[in-house]
A and B are shown apart, each in its own frame.
Chain A
Amino acid sequence: MSVVDRVKDKLTGGRRIDADALLHRLDALSRFLRAVDGRLPEADLVGARTVVERAGARLALSRDHTVVALAGSTGSGKSSLFNALARLTLSQVGVRRPTTGVAHACVWGPLEDANKLLDWVGVLPRHRYIRESALDGDDEAALRGLVLLDLPDFDSVEQAHRLEVDRLLGLVDLIVWVVDPQKYADRSLHAGYLRQFGRHRDVTVVVLNQADRLRPADAEKVVADLRRLLVEDGLEGVPSFATSAREPALQVELRELLEKTIAKREAALRRLAGDVDTVAGRLTELVGRPADSDRVDRATVRQLTDALAASAGVPAVAAATGQAYRHRAAAYTGWPLSRGLRRLRPDPLRRLHLDAPSPVAITSLPPADAAQKSAVGMSVRAVADRAAESLPAAWHPALTTAARSRLDGLPDALDRAVATTDLGVTKPALWWRAVGVLQWALTLAALVGLGWLVGGYAIRAIGLPALDYPMVGDVPLPTLLLLGGLAAGLLLALLVRPLLRLGARRAVRRAENRLRAAVTDVGREYVVAPVREVLGSYATAREAFDEVRG
């Protein structure tokens, strides 16, 4: 705002309305609606959508014209006032009630410009009148740009009139409520209409028509009483005065007000700003305080992982890994002569189809049982609850739905996660090979000794002179080799056992960690990510809403 504007503002004391600010707010409202689409019940958002649509349409149409509507109950004199303001008899005035059934429009200025606007408002072409003509000269120039509507009533026995009025009241820029001394305190006017326009104070005018029927002193009393009722309706400070369709002197104030409004060309913007305020008021309860930093914390995720791991069979797989470790190690480090016996037992991991990680095939793990499914369900619910703690109640269903949205694909994903995890027992450890080599060496030595002994025996058996065995102490070398080799082999196998047990335990732990990590990833992707998405929409919606509120 420039200095000049600020000074002007102080002098006029009124709120200036900035078209850009309004557009900005409408844009923010659209963003808000996009962010909450599908998350919040549609019924709450209908009002906002209507406002956005209507605002878009109105701002695209003529900004030079101001649409003013004369609204009131049957018999209040709207049509007479309409004719008086136009200084022509355009609208039918009668004593039979209700009189006006459809809206009539009178345009000051060229009709062509206002045609599109009137098409949008919904006034039939045959009910449109043009006021300014060459004959008038400059008399009506002050009102150029005015589109005055004479609306039907809203409280007669004809229901159709009320529906038409409701529709039109949503589309006009300025509303002049015409009341008369008999009906100014009617409930249908105040409770049915005026109270809903609390935020449209800038574009509401209330006039007491038929004031010529009252004595001046009475007229003042009635206007004061009317003002009191307006205060109760929340329309304090709205321009309210007496008029009469028969006395031109009493119409001056209304005419001046209309002229001023048209000159400022702000009525449409103010009306739309009022609409946006109304809608924002209603949406406040849907958007509360900002969500705390991510509530889906580690503890919750850990609980989720525990449940998912149990249902995916991670403990069983880990145990099988340990067994497989020992099984496979035995192939390298066991006593060669009894190694083969191990083969009679199945490889635990192969039984579960987990020996070769493959992303496509399924494992042979049994599915989760009832208790585990319950546990998974509860932990998913816990995730949604934690996230919902700081959000308004309207968002809880959205969070719960999001947490469950991918639950169906979870068993398959878990299975794949388990199948593709490298459990760390595929490749034989280096020391196994070393031990294996050693075992073979010892066996070889034993075999050499045996062969030697057998050879010596055979030579003696066929009568050749006995071989001379080198002696180690008192024991011949081949015997030593044989017995030593066997004994050493056995001893080695036995010594290696505790090492294998340790190794198996480590393998189990390692496998479990890797499996848990894989399961955590699945959990995050399938359960936590959708919930975080909803939290993200909430943050976006909140931001946009702050801008809407201005």
Chain B
Amino acid sequence: MTSPGDRTPASVAEKLAGTPGSAEPRNPGKPSSDTPAGVPETAAPGEATAPPPAPADASAPATDGPPDDSAPAGRDIPPAAGSPAGDGTTAGATAAGSAVDEPATGTAAATADEEAAGRTAGEDSATEAEAAAVPAVEEPVTESTSPATEAAASEPVTEPVTPATEPTDSEPATEPATEPLTPEPDTMAVVDEPGDEPDEPVGAVDGREDGPLLREVPELPAEGTTRTLVTALTRLRSEIGATPYPLVMPTAEEARRVGGALVAQLDDYLLPRLARLDAPLLVVVGGSTGAGKSTLVNSLVRAPVSASGVLRPTTRSPVLVCHPNDMSWFRSGELLPGLTRTPEVSADPNSLHLVAAPALGEGLAFLDAPDIDSVVDRNRELAAQLLAAADLWLFVTTAARYADAVPWELLHTARQRGTVTALVLDRVPPEAAGEVAAHLSEMLAANDLAAAPLFVLPESDLDGSGLLPEEVSGPLRDWFAHLAGDASARAAVVRQTLDGALAALRPSVTGLAAAADDQAVAAAGLTERVDAAYRNARRTVEQGLQDGRLLRGEVLARWQEFVGTGEFLRSLESRIGRLRDRITAAVTGRPAPGRNLQVALESQLATLFRGVAADAAEQAYTGWQAHPAGAALLTPALGRPSADLPERAEALIRDWQRSVLDLVREEAGDKRFVARSASYAVNATGLAVMIAVFTSTAFIPTGAEVAVGAGTTVAAQKVLEAVFGDQAIRALAARARADLLRRVDELLAGEAVRFTGLLAPALETSGDGLRAAGAEVERARADLQLIGPLR
């Protein structure tokens, strides 16, 4: 009866069963075929199909009775292998399923059988039913769930069930659990067959008897492919590091966090793991504060290595327990490079306390992580980091905490990443054991985690040295001992988790790329607002210059001082000016202007420039304030034009006037007949050109108009005509105007840069690099085929 125990992905289960190579998913319906897709979730389709038969089969072995242990053992992996083939049809079966298939198949089958055997008859039906139900659920999850062998899975799960049927089972409950475990070695031997029974139901359904599943323990991948993947990962890491998210946007904060977590995972786990696939398996024990993680770790290694206490939170710095032979690997610092290794307990959260425990099997190490939800923020961050670096998550929760929101978020992450997970429900009051365990199983199933093995540990008094009693911690210890003893099982676990983690990179990277694109889009939008404001300013200046009325007043007076030699000419010019204006008004219907402003041209222009710059700065400021990212970049000083604008505007005007004079001088270069009054003429013509600029834009005086043209322009042009000819005047006027507008453009651009300069980093951000790196990683991962190809 697969029952609840069937939660583990076939591969892992198989591994735990100790069978090398038979990829046949123990779990019914685990399409063993290594779907290269390896997407953790996809097992569903194939799996779904498989399950139904499995339970039946599972039950079959069960009914066989205790001897079944060996019976399942008798199964060969090859048949299992066949199943995978059949499962292959369930294309959905993800790599996880496939990976699991290999070694686990046999084991899974074996364990399932064992469990079935272990169960009392009475329960069999019940468990079978459950098993039937479970596999269905498990299949899809297999990949993402822990590798717990069906046996293991079913075992813990059956515990609650067994007590029900076997009242004596609070403690004894563990017995059945142990039972399946013990047979494992046998099943391991039999592993080759695993595909048979448990698989058969599954495989049989899918006609897996195609032949032995040639899923041997995959060889270590070729150097070349690993290296390609490592290169791709390194490139991805540098891409992530090179993508800042400078603008404040809803996606930026999240992206920064995710990016940081990805980089940490790459450094802590993915790269070191790829470098040495055969390194010891790291089991990270994580959970909420007060769940009993430290006590559990101590009990598993039968030595008080991690301090536990009644005050919360207890564990501050993580403790790593391993076999003395593995010490060198963990001490080398390739894994989790950010933590300093210390031989003794320290309060420094950035240190890793290494402890050697000969009682622990070689090839397996436990890491007691800090809690995930206490007030100490550093604990939470560190716990998340450590969980990202684990090969197997041992998640500890209690009867009081199993419905808390924070742990479930982490479980979702584990599922999405395809990490192999096992759950421990700790500190369960005896009277509540059944109900709580059942509820938790329901919740796990509802969250696609049905394949994760669940161990239920009742609340019990600790013995003298603060360890759990033997009978309570026995099943779990045996399970791990089993895992420690079987190299292929360990390898399968490692690969499944590694592959899942690699596969989970793509969606995260896509998210990061989207956030980067958001940044660029937002930056473009903000730039547009600034540009619109300053375009308005330029338009106002253009219109202001076109008006022609800036000419009046002292400009006229100055001109007259230069050119109008006599009062008569002076008054004649004013009169002609007024006459022209009046005629213009009569013709165009606008009211006649009737005043002479006594303001000089320079101050008029200066006022105009300062006004438009202030308006543009304010408009840009308001535009940015309406945008959340822009609002974060604003400083109060940006709402005003820059402090030195008045000086720069005046300097601009003077430069322009000088350039107009130069223009005129250039043109007049070889016209020598204006000898004595050459300077007069240049200045006069210069000023005349200036005035012509303003009036010639909207109303270029032609022959007839010249006579009634602006008084000053007429005289000015008369003089100029004498020197240069009519056409030259117009050309000069146009050039001078263009020059002034060009200088104004520069001035406004300098003002706009105060805003757009803040956007420089964001404008260059783009998600393309990330997407390319992510695709490269995905390709390399597919080539690598960690969890083994089908054939």
Contacts and interface: CB of A to CB of B under 8 A. Distances in A.
Interface in A303-344: 310, 313, 315-317, 319-320
A158 B443 CA distance: 12
A352 interface: yes
A258 B537 CA distance: 69
B375 A364 contact: no
A157 interface: yes
A7 interface: no
Nearest to B290: A182
Interface string B301-316: 0000000001111000
A218 interface: yes
A371 B373 CA distance: 64
A73 interface: yes
Contacts of A155: 404-406
Interface string A523-544: 0000000000000000000000
A284 interface: no
B757 interface: no
B669 interface: no
Interface stretch (B4-12, B128-136, B610-618): B610-618
B607 A95 contact: no
Interface string B372-404: 011111001000000000000000001111111
A187 B375 contact: yes
A381 interface: yes
Nearest to A184: B312
Interface in B576-597: 591-597
Contact of A156 (B313, B404, B431, B439): B404
Interface stretch (A372-380, A415-423, A433-441, A473-481): A372-380
Contacts of A73: 404
A223 B599 CA distance: 82
A377 B614 contact: yes
B602 to A, nearest CB: 11
B429 interface: yes
B636 interface: yes
A364 B592 CA distance: 8
A375 B403 contact: no
A225 B615 CA distance: 60
A97 B636 contact: no
Contacts of A76: 400
Interface stretch (B33-41, B137-145, B543-551): B543-551
Interface in B504-546: 540-541, 543-544
B598 interface: yes
Most A C-beta atoms less than 10 A away, residue of B290, B611, B636: B611
Given A74-B404, A187-B377, A369 B435 contact: no
B591 A366 contact: yes
A222 B311 contact: yes
A156 B406 CA distance: 8
B550 A190 contact: no
A378 B550 contact: no
A11 interface: no
Interface string B407-444: 01000000000000000000101011001100100000
B610 A374 contact: yes
Contact of B611 (A98, A229, A371): A371
A339 to B, nearest CB: 22
A190 B312 CA distance: 13
A383 to B, nearest CB: 14
A324 to B, nearest CB: 12
Nearest to A228: B311
A315 B595 contact: yes
B375 A98 contact: no
Interface string A377-417: 11001000000000001000000000000000000000000
B608 interface: yes
Nearest to A159: B405
A374 B597 contact: no
A221 interface: yes
B383 to A, nearest CB: 12
B604 interface: yes
A95 B290 CA distance: 18
B289 interface: yes
B375 A190 contact: yes
6 contacts: A74-B404, A96-B403, A97-B401, A158-B403, A187-B377, A369-B547
Report the 8 A-B pairs with minimum CB-CB distance, sorted nearest first: A374-B611, A316-B595, A370-B544, A75-B400, A97-B403, A182-B290, A95-B432, A185-B312
